[in-house]
Each structure stands twice: as C-alpha cells, then as structure tokens.
Amino acid sequence: MDTMIEFLGTTGFAHMQWGNALMIAIGIIFIALAIVKDYEPLLLLPIGFGAIVGNIPTAVDMSLSVYDEGTVLNYLYWGVQQGVYPPLIFLGIGAMTDFSAMLSNPKLILLGAAAQIGIFLTLIGAYYLGFTPKEAGAIAIIGGADGPTAIFLSSRLAPELLGAIAIAAYSYMALVPVIQPPIMKLLTSREERLIRMAPPRVVSQRERIVFPVVAFLICALIAPGSLVLVGMLFFGNLLKESGVTERLANTARTSMIDIVTILLGFCVGASTQAKTFLRPDSIKIFALGALSFAVATAGGVLFAKFMNLFLKDKINPLLGAAGVSAVPDSARVVQMVGQKEDPQNYLLMHAMTPNVAGVIGSAVAAGVLWAVLTKTV
Amino acid sequence: MDFPLLVTEAVKDQADPNMIVVAITGMIIVFAALLILTLFLTALPKILDVFNEYFPPSEHGHSAAPVAKQAVLDEDLVAAMAIALIHHRSD
C-alpha cells in the first residue's frame, strides 16, 4: 500500500498546478486551431503538443524537461538555444522561394523595408516599458512576423524570454488573416484597393542565379549580423536556381525543413513551462507583439500610398501589408482583401515581392539589433 | 569602429542606451540595404544585356537533365513486333 501511495506521489496529478493546467489547455487550443481552423498547422500543432509535453509536472528528482541538463528534450532544445534551427529553416525557405516576382518589379521591395518600422517602434516601446535593451530588441523582432528570426534573435539576446517571444510570434503569424484585414481596410479607399498591377515580366535564369549571390553580398556587408540568416536564405535559393544542385535544393525544401520545423516547433512548445512562461512579462510581450504587428502592417500600407505620390503606375497599397514577412500568409491576405473588391484582381504574385523582401528586411533588422544591442547590459 | 558612429555613440551608455537613435539608425540601415538591392535589381537586366553580348547564354547549360536519346529500333525488330501484335490481337 505504501508503494502505491509513494507511486501516486510521483504522478503528474500530484504535482499539477493551475499554471500547468492552463498551459496544457493553451496547447490543446493550439492543436484545435491548427486542425479545425487550419491556422499555421505545421507550426501550431508541434508547438501545441510541445506545450502539453512541457507542462506535465514531474517529481523534483525526475529530470525530464528541456531545461534539465542532459535530458533528451534538453539535447533537442540545444538547437533552439544555440540558434541552430532558424538558419536551417531559412535554407529551406530559400530553396522553395521563387524570387522572380521580386526581380520583375524591384520597387516593391521597399514595401518590405517600410514594414520593418513595426520592429523599431516596438523596440522603443518595450524599452520604455521597463525591459532591458537586449530584451526590448528580442521582443521588437516579433513585428517582423518571422518566427525563425524571432527565435534566432531572442536566443542570442534574451534566452529567458524565448518561449514567450516564439509563442507570440507564431501566434500572430497564425492570426495574420484576422489581424491584417481591418488595418488594411482602414487605411485604404475602395479606389485604391481596386488598383490593378501590370503583369510581371519574364525573368531570365541568369538574373535568378546572380540575384542570391549579389543580394547576400549587399545585405551581409551592410549588416554582418544578418550573415547567418540571409546567408542560408540565399544559399538555399542558389541551390534552387543554379539548376545543377536540384537534389540538394529538393532536400532543403522538403525533408530538411520538415525535420527542423518539427524539432523547432516541438521544442519551443516544450519550453513554455508554466513557471517560466506565465509571468507578467509574457502579457506585456504579447501586447507589444500585437502592437508591433499592427504597426508593421500599417507602415507597409502607408508607405505604398506614399510611393504612389511619385509613381505614374500606381501600386495597390494593399501590397504594403505583405511587407511583414509571414510568408505566404500575408500575401494571401492581400489577395483575399483585393478580391473582395474586385474578384478579377490577382495580387498574390505581386504581394510575394514585399513578402519575401520582408523576410530579408527582418533578417537584416535582426542582424542590426544583434550587433548593436549585444554590447548593452 | 565596427558600426556606424551614430549607433556606437547611442549604445555608449550600456545600461541606458539611446534607443530612439538605435531605432532610427536601424530603420535607416534596413532601408539602405533594401534600397541598394532595389537599385541593383533595376539595373540587373541592362547589365545582363551587355554581359550576354559577350557571353551568350549556353544552350547546353546544366539546368536541364540530359534527355535520353531515343533508341533507334531496328526495322526488322519493328516488323517482328508488329506481326506479334497482330497475332496477339487476332487470338
């Protein structure tokens, strides 16, 4: 009988606290959103299950969590802590991204730059809300709407906030179809939403091969801190476009990115233990993340309207919303909002330019923040 | 000096850096990177036009996998196959 009682004392039920139960419920909600609503299922499902795994309470002398040295989960989490997984995801993204739309209409790249204002305004906001400079930088990058970049930067600058930042970043990426449309409609007139874009020109293979090499040199030489992320992004793209490494490109954009996505999502979820995640700071991070995301969307749309003051062939300002780098979700939202006004208006291909420019822009922004804020206390 | 002077000055006080300057400078750097990229990509077709004049794109590039040559079938073999097929169908 004593053995039975002793055993019952080691079960998860005996150590369950309200925080663990809440996090398990959040994990289940993530899984439900992924399955029922199809919100970023490739990310929310692993994160959701990871959150459940990470919040099963264990006896004090049982080391099982991602934070306990030498455990299996800790070894898997090493890739998150050391920022190994995000560059590998960027390699896969590069190998699956077609930059032809960007090459055919380069001026739309500037929309991807404008949307990064969300990052830098949030940086100021987070700092004046009491976060340290490093923490403010890690939180600000949520505005880039790029999960791997957010994880990479927070693992470098503020590892203690990694779980909250990653969950916030991926949550807002999943909620792109909910957050962006009201802002897009608020800032544009019906006439602007009806603007049609000229069809993109045909891009030669030589252009597509030269692009990743030169784009990498430009970005890395201006912001060397972005070297790892943009390096892997453009390396992946070169594998795709060179035409001689199709096997490698295929592996990068299929098996490899899938494996890393599973590990990254699961580990991030497992790192959201109630005792480290349920803190007042997490609520601030979520609020700042939402603000950052909204400002980024507004920044892109308003900059498109600003560009229209000088352009003969007007840009549909909805494209500015795709400057946040949630690829391809925000581009899809642009298409959806545009087609509500004019079902024959196809903006998706055009929206991919600011969208992938946003990926490059947020990687450069992360590089800048890393290089600058790493010197601060 | 390994970073723009303005930023280096802004983070001189490591405990209380001037985040407004950091934010503005960061935004300028991101814009500069993507603006240079835009300018380069705008000029790229013209650069390649000149380049292509001296080094025209090869028709035998690596991009396409070599297509296997269709085996040339012997005429007698084709005739034999045709007869076999006719017999097969008549059965």
CB contact under 8 A, B57 and A223: no
In this prediction the ipTM stands at 0.87
Contact criterion met (CB < 8 Å) for B27 and A106: no
CB A64 within 8 A of CB A73: yes
Asked if the model's pLDDT at residue B71 lies above 60, the reply is: no
Q: Do A116 and B30 touch (CB under 8 A)?
A: yes
> Exposure of A52 by Cβ count < 10 A (0-12 exposed, 13-18 middle, 19+ buried)?
buried
| pLDDT at residue A343, rounded to an integer | 93
Q: What is the pLDDT of residues B27-43, one digit of tens each?
A: 999 999 999 999 999 99
Phi first, then psi, for residue B4 (nearest 5°) are: -50, 140
DSSP A321: G
Mutate to test the interface with A, among B30, B40, B51 (most CBs of A within 10 A): B30
Whether pLDDT at B75 is above 90: no
Query: Mean per-residue pLDDT for B38-54?
Result: 93
In 3D space, the residue among B22, B18, B19, B31 whose CA is nearest the CA of residue B4 turns out to be B22
Q: What percent of chain A has pLDDT over 90?
A: 67
What's the rounded mean pLDDT across residues A255-273? 93
Q: Average of pLDDT values for B11-30? A: 84
B40 vs A: CB within 8 A: yes
Per-residue pLDDT for A115 more than 60? yes
Partners of A372 on chain B (C-beta within 8 Å) are 3, 7, 10-11, 22, 25-26
Q: Number of residue pairs across A and B with CB atoms under 8 Å?
A: 125
CA–CA separation, A141 vs B36, rounded Å? 22
Measured between alpha carbons, how far is B87 from B91 in angstroms, rounded to an integer?
Answer: 6
* Cβ within 8 Å, pair A206-B20: no
CB contact under 8 A, A361 and B35: no
Question: Could you state, in order of their start, the residue ranges of all structural domains in chain B?
Answer: 1-61
What's the rounded Cα separation, in Å, for the pair B26 and A368? 6
Q: Dump pLDDT digits (tens) for A187-230.
A: 999 999 999 998 888 899 999 999 999 999 999 999 898 999 99
- Please indicate if any CB of chain A lies within 8 Å of the CB of B6: no
Higher pLDDT, A147 or A36: A36
Nearest C-alpha of chain B: how many angstroms from A315?
A: 16
Question: For chain A, which residues make up each domain, given as ranges?
Answer: 65-373
3-state SS, one letter per residue, for B26-50: HHHHHHHHHHHHHHHHHHHHHHHHH
For B11, which of A204, A361, A375 is closest by C-beta distance?
A: A375
Q: Which of B22, B38, B41 sits opposite A372 (nearest CB)?
A: B22
